[in-house]
Amino acid sequence: MPLTYDAIVGALSSEALPALYVDLDAFDRNVARVVSVVGDAGPTVRIATKSVRVPALIRRAMEKGGSLFRGLMCFCVEEAELLSREGFDDLFVAYPPFQAAEATRAAELVARGVDLKIAVDALEGLERLSRAGQQKGVKVPVVLCIDMSLRLVGDLVHLGVRRSPVATPEDALALSRLAAAMPGVELAGLMGYEAQVAGLADDRPGDPERWAKRAVRRASIHVVRERRAQVVETLRAAGHDLGLVNGGGTGSLDSTSRDPSVTEVSCGSAFFKPHAFDHFTNAHMSELEPSCFFALEVTRVPGPGLATCLGGGYVASGPVGTFAAPLPHLPEGLSLLPTEMAGEVQTPLRVPKSAKLRHGSPVVFRHAKGGEVCERFREVLLIAGGKIVGRAPTYRGLGACFF
Ligand SMILES: Cc1ncc(COP(=O)(O)O)c(C=O)c1O
C-alpha cells in the first residue's frame, strides 16, 4: 500500500526539511516487478546506476533481484571507481569518455583487476583508450555503442537519441576491426539503447501527439530488433566474441528482454518510478509505483488557497518544459503556479480546501527523473512500514560530483 499523507507526516515529524526519502516497501515491489517482467526470458538485468545514485539502494536492488541482476551501468569512469570502492564489480561505463585522464583512470582500474568495460563509438575514443591501456600494460575491454534511433525520410525525421554514429552492420564491423588491431583495447560486446521505446511516454493525458508516439514505439521495436540482430550476426560471423549485448531501459523491459540478440537489459528508473515514467501504454509501466519522494516545508501562507514551500527547484534535465518540474504528490490536489513553478528559493502551491496545510506542514513531491534529485541531498531516509528504519548517503553525501 502506498504511504498516506498522515503516515508521512508522522514519519518525518522529527526530521529537518527538505528531506529525501524512499519507501523501501514500494522500492522492493518494483524490484520484484522488474524480475517478473524480464522473467526467465533470457537476459540478465544491469542496473543503470545514474537513475539511483545511492550505493545502499543499488546494493539492495542487486540483493533483492537475485541471480537475474548482474552488473552495473555507470555514467562515467569516476562513478565506476566509486562503485568499485563500494564493493561492486562488473561495471560498464555506457557513455564514451574522451578526456585522457578518464582513459588513464579506466586503464588503471582494469590493471587493478576491476571488471570494467567502456563504451566506444569512434576511432578517436578507441585510440585514447588503447594508448592508456598500452601504458598500463592492459587491454581495456570496450563495448561498441550502436545507434538505435529511428530515421525516416533519410535523416529528416530522427526519433531517438543523438549518440553513436555507428548505425549499420558495416559501420560496426569497421570499428570492431580497428579495435581488434589496437594493442590496448579488446572488444567485449555491444550496446544498442532504444531511447525512443524505453523513454517515450506515449499515454500522456491530453497529449495530441500520443497516437504518433505509440506508432513510433511500435515501429521502433521491430526496427531495433532487426538492426541489433544484423549487427550481432555480422560481428560474430567475422569472428568477434561478443560476451555482452546490452539493450533497453525501464520503458522497454518487456520488448528488449524478449529480443533474442540481447544478453542483458538495463534499467534504473524502474526502482524509483519518477513521474517522467507515469504515462506509458505498456502493462509493466503501470504496475511500477513511485518509491522516491522529497518533502518540503510550508513556510509561508500568502493568501487563501495558497501555501509556499521553502526551496524545491529541483528541475530535471532534458527538454525544457513543465514536464521537467517536480510533481506535487501529497496531500492530494495541489498544483504548481505556472507563473513561478518550482523555484530556487520557493515553490508556491495552489491548495484545495481538503488539504489542511499550515506553517511547518510537509508537502511531498516526486522528481521527474530517477537519480538526479539525489544531487540535491546528502542522504536519503529509508522508510519501511511507515517508519524511518535507516538513512543512506547519496553520491553527493559521499562527496562525489561527476558532471
Ligand atoms: C545507455 C542507456 N541504457 C539504459 C538507460 C535506461 O535507464 P532507465 O531505466 O533509468 O530509464 C539509459 C538512460 O538514459 C541509457 O542512457
The pairing of strands 264-267 and 244-247 is parallel
* CA atoms of 194 and 147, how far apart (whole Å): 8
pLDDT, one tens digit per residue, over 238-266 is 999 899 999 999 999 999 999 999 999 99
pLDDT, one tens digit per residue, over 181-203 is 999 999 999 999 999 999 999 99
- In this structure, are residues 188 and 92 in contact, taking their beta carbons and an 8 Å threshold? no
| Residue 152 pLDDT | 78
What confidence tier does 338 reach under pLDDT thresholds 50, 70, 90? very high
256 lines ligand 1 (CB under 6 A): no
Q: What is the mean pLDDT of residues 291-318?
A: 97
Is the domain spanning 24-276 CATH 3.40.50.300? The answer is: no
If DSSP codes are grouped into helix, strand and coil, which group holds residue 350?
strand
pLDDT, one tens digit per residue, over 23-55 is 999 999 999 999 999 998 789 999 999 999 999
- Give backbone dihedrals phi and psi of 379, rounded to 5 degrees, phi first: -140, 160
User: What is the model's pTM?
Assistant: 0.96
- Give backbone dihedrals phi and psi of 37, rounded to 5 degrees, phi first: -75, -35
Residues of the chain with CATH 2.40.37.20: 292-398
Closest-CA residue to 21 (of 340, 373, 403):
373
Q: What is the mean pLDDT of residues 198-212?
A: 92
* CA atoms of 125 and 173, how far apart (whole Å): 16
* CA atoms of 116 and 91, how far apart (whole Å): 5
Give me 71's grid cell: 552488473
**205 CA distance to ligand 1 centroid (A)?**
24
48 lines ligand 1 (CB under 6 A): yes
Given a cut of 80, whether residue 154 has pLDDT beyond it is no
193 lines ligand 1 (CB under 6 A): yes
**309 CA distance to ligand 1 centroid (A)?**
32
Atom of ligand 1 nearest to the CA of 199: 11
Given a cut of 80, whether residue 156 has pLDDT beyond it is no
Residues of the chain with CATH 3.20.20.10: 24-276
Count how many Cα atoms sit within 13 Å of the Cα of residue 327 in the half-sphere of its side chain: 17
**266 CA distance to ligand 1 centroid (A)?**
6
Task: Please tell me the residue having the least CA distance from ligand 1 atom 6.
Answer: 249
CA angle 237, 238, 239 (to 5 degrees): 90
**338 CA distance to ligand 1 centroid (A)?**
30
Q: Which of 145-154, 204-213, 288-297 reaches the highest mean pLDDT?
A: 288-297
**284 CA distance to ligand 1 centroid (A)?**
16
371 lines ligand 1 (CB under 6 A): no
Among the four given CATH numbers 1.10.3720.10, 3.40.50.2000, 3.90.420.10, 2.40.37.20, the one describing domain 292-398: 2.40.37.20
Atom of ligand 1 nearest to the CA of 266: 4
pLDDT, one tens digit per residue, over 58-81 is 999 999 999 999 999 999 999 999
**51 CA distance to ligand 1 centroid (A)?**
8
CA 129 to chain centre: 25
| Residue 293 pLDDT | 98
